[in-house]
């Protein structure tokens, strides 16, 4: 018999009951909640007079709608200018108070983007099933956890039953072997992968990232990759447990305390894909082949390298892709064959659950240090992922580096990743963004998003157009 994959193991450990039709009732260890996808779920509980099954499995924080300017933040929840945003944040506060769920409210230093907060607090642990009404929940799989996004009806289902009805997925291994060149990050790896397998390449699969390049990668880099598994169609991204995982988790507020630590480590050490595990699909990638990535179009698979050009129509696979290319040229205001380094930028956004952790900010600050944001830019924003990331960055003096270079240093939240608050692109503006989606209108009506790593975004801010960060030191 062949061995088991990490996903097989996590699945088996959480089956409450298998049903005849091939679905199973899966136990959920942790649910994270935010203000956008939870109000209708709490309303559903109220209407049916149900109570949450297990309070201590839930943790909430507002992130999508919170303002990121200091002025607006200082006035507290009542000071949120946009009335609709305010209602959502207030509704989350009220629901958590009413049902007794722990929430890091907007003024709490632990508040932040839910996918940054969970790991930072040790509320995401190896071996857990983690869900949240948000597709980027895949992020938490970096901890050898089974984590995925769910819809609002399922949020209600988990609140009421601590379970989900699931069907087992297939196993996909993305094997990245070799050594990444200097300046190449998890962001470049995952964009490179999406460029190869496409935005539907992972549909129906649990996607594990393995290989020697992943073993030497930090937890931050792993989280960035798992975060974007969904952009390749996979609900689940994951990385096997190792020392890097253990070192990150140790000592976090909700991590196992000293007396349970050894017992937990013993249980976690098996959270790896066995050497003889069989995957349904394996994609092999040489780390040396990966260059800094930049998306040019309106889907994350429309990606190329910084030294390349916007693809021409002849590069499209078929008619469907040809028409997608044509639409993307028009929306993005780009010419086929145009050099990526010739794309002029209007704004730069460093933030989001993909790239707003301390390591991301350090990488961007290193590029920005002693330089100035180009005059041609309207705005360059740095938005830390949580209040704690912000505090850490300030302790290291990163905020000063950014401000001196001409970046705006903001309060934590989703911000310009999806423009639900005041931070957005103007019609037709080009933005170098460290977020995860370049869909039409994602960062503001008519806005044009180019996805890049934090260092690439910082370099682009300085130059006013894309530049190869490897030539920038």
Partner 1 sequence: MQAFTVHQGLVAPMDRANVDTDMIIPKQFLKSIKRSGFGPNLFDELRYLDEGVPDADNSGRPLNPDFVLNLPRYQGASVLLARENFGCGSSREHAPWALEDFGFRTVIAPSFADIFYNNCFKNGLLPIVLDESIVDRLFKAVDTQEGYQLTVDLEREVIETADGESIAFEVDAFRRHCLLNGLDDIGLTLQDADDIRTYEASRRESAPWLFGTV
260 to 279, contacts with partner 1 by CB under 8 A? Answer: 260, 263-264, 267
Please, which of residues 303-332 interact with partner 1 by CB under 8 A?
320-321, 323-324, 327
Helix axes 114-121, 387-395, angle to 10 degrees: 70
Q: Taking CB under 6 A as the rule, does residue 418 contact ligand SF4?
A: yes
> How far apart are alpha carbons 367 and 457 in whole angstroms?
9
- Contact criterion met (CB below 8 Å) for 462 and 473: no
Question: Binding mask 326-355 vs ligand SF4 (x if CB under 6 A, - otherwise)?
Answer: --------------------------xx--
Instruction: Give the helix/strand (H/E) hosting 194.
Output: helix 186-197
Least distance (Å) between residue 387 CB and partner 1: 18
Q: Return the residue of 62, 211, 256, 292 that touches partner 1, per CB under 8 A.
A: 256
Q: What is the smallest separation between the CB atom of 102 and partner 1, expressed in angstroms?
A: 5
**CA nearest to 470, candidates 188, 195, 192, 259:** 188
Q: Can you name the residues that pair with 283 across neighbouring β-strands?
A: 174
* Choice between 271 and 417, CB closer to ligand SF4: 417
The torsion region of residue 147 among left (phi > 0), alpha (psi -120 to 50) and beta comes to beta
Tell me, by CB under 6 A, how many residues bind ligand SF4. 13
Candidates 9, 14, 136, 148; binder of ligand SF4 (CB under 6 A) is 136
Q: Does 12 interact with partner 1 (rule: CB under 8 A)?
A: no
Contact 329, 310 (CB under 8 A): yes
Which CB, 154 or 429, lies closer to partner 1?
154
Per CB under 6 A, contacts with ligand SF4 among 436-455 are 436
The verdict on 435 binding ligand SF4 (CB under 6 A) reads: yes
Is 59 or 353 the residue whose CB approaches ligand SF4 more closely?
353
Phi, psi at 452, each rounded to 5°: -150, 175
Residues within window 155-184 making contact with partner 1, judged by CB under 8 A? 156-157, 160-163, 165, 167
Question: Of 268, 195, 339, whose CA–CA distance to 9 is shortest?
Answer: 268
Both tokens assigned to 289: 């082949």
Task: Give 448 or 465: the residue with its C-beta nearer to ligand SF4.
Answer: 448
**Residue range at the interface with ligand SF4 (CB under 6 A); choices 100-108, 148-156, 413-421, 447-455:** 413-421
**Cβ-count burial 54-75 (b if 16+ within 10 Å, e if not):** eeebbbbbbbbbbbbeeebbee
Token pair of 195, please? 């460029």
Q: For tokens 């539907």, what's the residue?
A: 200
33 lies in the site for ligand SF4, by CB under 6 A? no
Tokens of 379: 């705005």
Residue closer to partner 1 by CB (options 89, 398) is 89
Does the protein bind ligand SF4 through residue 414 (CB under 6 A)?
yes
- If binding is defined by CB under 6 A, does position 113 make contact with ligand SF4? yes
For residue 453, CA distances in Å to 50, 78, 436 come to: 44, 35, 10
CB-wise, 131 or 418, nearer to ligand SF4?
418
- Closest CA relative to residue 134, chosen from 437, 427, 421: 437
**Binders in 121-160 for partner 1, by CB under 8 A:** 123, 125, 127-128, 133-135, 148-154, 156-157, 160
Q: Does 194 bind partner 1 (CB under 8 A)?
A: no
Using the minimum distance from each CB to partner 1, give the nearer residue, 261 or 472. 261
Number of neighbouring beta carbons within 10 Å of residue 348: 31
- Positions touching ligand SF4 (CB under 6 A) are 63-64, 113, 115, 134, 136, 352-353, 414, 417-418, 435-436
């Amino acid at each position: 018999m062949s061995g088991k994959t990490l996903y097989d193991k996590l699945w088996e450990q959480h089956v409450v009951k298998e049903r005849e039709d091939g679905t199973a009732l899966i136990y959920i260890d942790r649910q994270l909640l935010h203000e956008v996808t939870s109000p209708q779920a709490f309303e559903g509980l109220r209407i049916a007079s149900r109570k949450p099954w297990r309070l201590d499995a839930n943790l909430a924080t507002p992130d999508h709608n919170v303002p990121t300017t200091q002025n607006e933040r200082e006035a507290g929840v009542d000071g949120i200018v946009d009335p609709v945003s305010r209602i959502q944040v207030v509704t989350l506060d009220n629901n958590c108070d009413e049902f007794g769920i722990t929430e890091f409210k907007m003024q709490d230093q632990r508040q932040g983007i839910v996918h940054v907060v969970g790991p930072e607090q040790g509320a995401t642990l190896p071996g857990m099933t983690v869900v949240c009404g948000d597709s980027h929940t895949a992020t938490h799989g970096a901890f050898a956890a089974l984590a995925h996004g769910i819809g609002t009806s399922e949020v209600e289902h988990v609140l009421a039953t601590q379970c989900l009805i699931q069907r087992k997925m297939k196993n996909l291994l993305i094997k990245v072997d070799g050594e990444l060149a200097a300046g190449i990050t998890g962001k470049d790896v995952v964009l490179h992968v999406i460029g190869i397998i496409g935005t539907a390449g992972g549909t129906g699969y649990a996607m594990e990232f393995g290989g020697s390049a992943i073993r030497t990668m930090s937890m931050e880099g792993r989280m960035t990759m798992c975060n974007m598994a969904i952009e390749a169609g996979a609900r689940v991204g994951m990385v096997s447990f190792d020392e890097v995982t253990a070192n990150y988790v140790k000592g976090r507020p909700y991590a196992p305390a000293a007396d349970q630590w050894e017992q937990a480590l013993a249980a976690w050490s098996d959270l790896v894909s066995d050497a003889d595990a069989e995957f349904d699909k394996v994609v092999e990638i040489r780390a040396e082949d990966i260059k800094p990535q930049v998306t040019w179009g309106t889907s994350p698979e429309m990606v190329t390298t910084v030294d390349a050009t916007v693809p021409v129509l002849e590069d499209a696979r078929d008619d469907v892709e040809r028409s997608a290319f044509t639409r993307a040229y028009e929306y993005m205001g780009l010419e086929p064959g145009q050099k990526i380094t010739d794309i002029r930028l209007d704004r730069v956004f460093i933030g989001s659950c993909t790239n707003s952790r301390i390591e991301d900010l350090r990488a961007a600050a290193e590029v920005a240090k002693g330089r100035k944001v180009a005059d041609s830019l309207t705005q360059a924003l740095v938005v830390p992922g949580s209040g704690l990331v912000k505090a850490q960055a300030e302790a290291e003096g990163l905020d000063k580096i950014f401000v001196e270079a001409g970046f705006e240093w903001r309060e934590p939240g989703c911000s310009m990743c999806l423009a639900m608050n005041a931070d957005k692109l103007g019609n037709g503006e080009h933005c170098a963004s460290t977020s995860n989606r370049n869909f039409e209108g994602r960062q503001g009506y008519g806005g044009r998003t180019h996805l890049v790593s934090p260092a690439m975004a910082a370099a682009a801010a300085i130059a006013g157009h894309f530049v190869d960060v490897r030539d920038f030191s």
